[in-house]
Structure 1
Amino acid sequence: MTRSISLIFLIGLILGGQSFAQSFSSYQKFVPQHYSLKQSFSDSATDQNEYPEPKMVLRRSLMIPGWGQVTNKQAWKVPIVYGLLGGLTYYSIYLHKNYNDYRAAYYNLNPDTPDDNRFGPTPGYISPNSNLSSLRETRNFYRNRRDLVYVFIGLSYALNAIDAYVFAHLRPFDVSDDLSMNARLKPGVLAVRNTEPVPVLSLSINF
């Protein structure tokens, strides 16, 4: 008895679903195209194409510092990038020059090394009577400071690329003041292979 009731209920459910699908197929002629799932996904893809690809932005930043910021429409960051890189580069040149001067002075005034001006002549602003230990410490100071600035130049170059890459990733996100949730139900049709279209309802939630 229970099996008969279940079988009758199953047959009625199948017939009811087919009749509903036929009626919905005639109804969908009057439904606007923008309610379909395919159309909503294509609209979303179109919006994403308006923004530059993050990998392309990263490559441009690595080739020319600031190019990625220009691609992201953040040209105001370019003077900051070149100001930082230019300032560090100028400082590294200054340190390298002083390092060469004190290296030459230490080598030329050291009695254990021949006075052949191997690293150039002793600069005039360095006294010939300078203490060798002091010359060595000053030489090492400029060398270590120069190497540290080289590291900062590399980090600044990498930071330029990371900044452009991260902003390209975050740019599509909505950061406006109105971040309220908006939920909408959209009727649509789900095409299943070898069967009639199945009516569906899609739920979209916008934050």
Structure 2
Amino acid sequence: MANLALGQVKDTLLRPADTIKTTPIRAVRIDSSNKKADTIKQKYVNPGKVAGRKAIFRSLIIPGWGQLYNNQLLNEKLNAKGEKTGHFWQRTYTLGKVGLIYGGFTALTLSYIESRKNYNIFLKEAQFRARNPGQKENPDIARYDDTNVLNAQSIYKRNSQIVIFSYFAVYAVNVVDAYVAARLNYFNIDDTISFKISPTLINNPNMMYGFNGSPALKLSLRF
């Protein structure tokens, strides 16, 4: 059996197993005429608008905070240009507006207190005279007749109301000033600004027939 086994040879008629696995290759057609290039660009962010919104938000929370924020923007702008010194008056003006805001609030507060004090004095005197005809309670205003007492009471009451409206006016001016100053920090005012004046025609709606254009001058600013 060993001799028979050794005497066997490999059958060459059998087909060898195919170990190479092939996959069909799909042809890819490149047609650049039907494909558009990716034109997605990064959205532009206006730094002036962003700074203006931040200034408004700060001024609405605390009056004067927007002006302090603008002073910070000014310092960053000057440091970016290498101007660490100078512009003293510009910084002083920016910070001085904070003092003006709170100085205005202080003056209005003192005026309101004084108006309410005098209003209560004349109101009390008017009420006393209404209950006691012909008599006067406060010797300091005894020289005023009944009509003058009532008029003074109305004047001081109106002054108190005006002061209250003035509070809102100062508050609104504080917000508007902070917004405008923040926008101006990013406004280009360098020497590259130029303008051009050229003749042009504008439409005249008053003319019904024929040529309705009127000669004019066109001003173009470039900065």
Q: TM-score range by the shorter chain?
A: 0.5 to 0.7
- Residue 169 of structure 1: which of 160, 183, 186 is its match? 183
Return the match for 2:60 from 56, 59, 62.
Answer: 62
Does residue 83 (structure 1) correspond to residue 98 (structure 2)? The answer is no
Question: Which digits, 9 at most, give the CA deviation of each residue in 1:16-48, with x for residues without a partner?
Answer: xx9xxxxxxxxxxxxxxxxxxx7xx79x85x93
Q: Percent identity?
A: 28
Runs of at least 4 residues off by over 3 Å: none
Residue 63 and residue 123 in structure 1: after superposition, are their counterparts in 2 closer, same or farther (change >3 A)? farther
Q: Is 1:48 the equivalent of 2:62?
A: no
Aligned to 1:138: 152
Matched, 1:100 2:120: yes
Which of the two has higher C-alpha Rg? 2
Q: Unaligned regions of 5+ residues in structure 2, if any?
A: 1-32, 34-40, 72-93, 196-221
Alpha-carbon distance in structure 1 between the residues aligned to 2:149 and 2:47: 61
Gaps of 5+ in 1: 1-17, 19-37, 116-121, 182-205
Provide the residue aligned with 2:141 in structure 1.
Answer: 126
- Aligned mates of 1:130, 1:76 — CA distance in 2: 44
C-alpha distance in 1 between matches for 2:191 and 2:108? 39
**Per-residue deviation at 1:52?**
5.7
Change (3 A) 1:133 1:163: same
Residue 132 of structure 1, CA deviation: 1.3
Distance verdict in 2 for CA 1:172–1:145, change over 3 Å: same
Once the two structures are TM-superposed, the CA of residue 168 in structure 1 deviates from its matched residue by 1.7
More helix per residue: 1 or 2? 1
Q: How many residues align?
A: 136
Q: What is the letter of the counterpart of residue 54 of structure 2? A: M
When residues 175 and 111 of structure 1 are mapped into structure 2, their CA distance, relative to the original with a 3 A threshold, is: same
TM-score, normalised to structure 1's length?
A: 0.55
Contact 1:72/1:168, CA 8 A, preserved across alignment: yes
Match for residue 148 of structure 1?
A: 162
Q: Residues of 2 paired with 1:152 and 1:134: CA distance?
A: 27
Provide TM-score, normalisation by structure 2.
0.52
In structure 2, C-alpha distance between the alignment counterparts of 1:170 and 1:68, rounded to whole Å: 13
1:123 and 1:169 map into 2 onto residues whose CA distance is 56
Q: Deviations over 1:171-207 (max 9, x none)?
A: 21112344248xxxxxxxxxxxxxxxxxxxxxxxx72
Aligned counterpart, 1:119: none
Q: Are residues 98 and 70 of structure 1, via their aligned partners in 2, closer, same or farther at CA, if it must alter by over 3 Å?
A: same
In the alignment, is the contact (CA less than 8 A) between 1:52 and 1:72 conserved in 2? Answer: no
Deviation of the 1:164 alpha carbon: 0.5
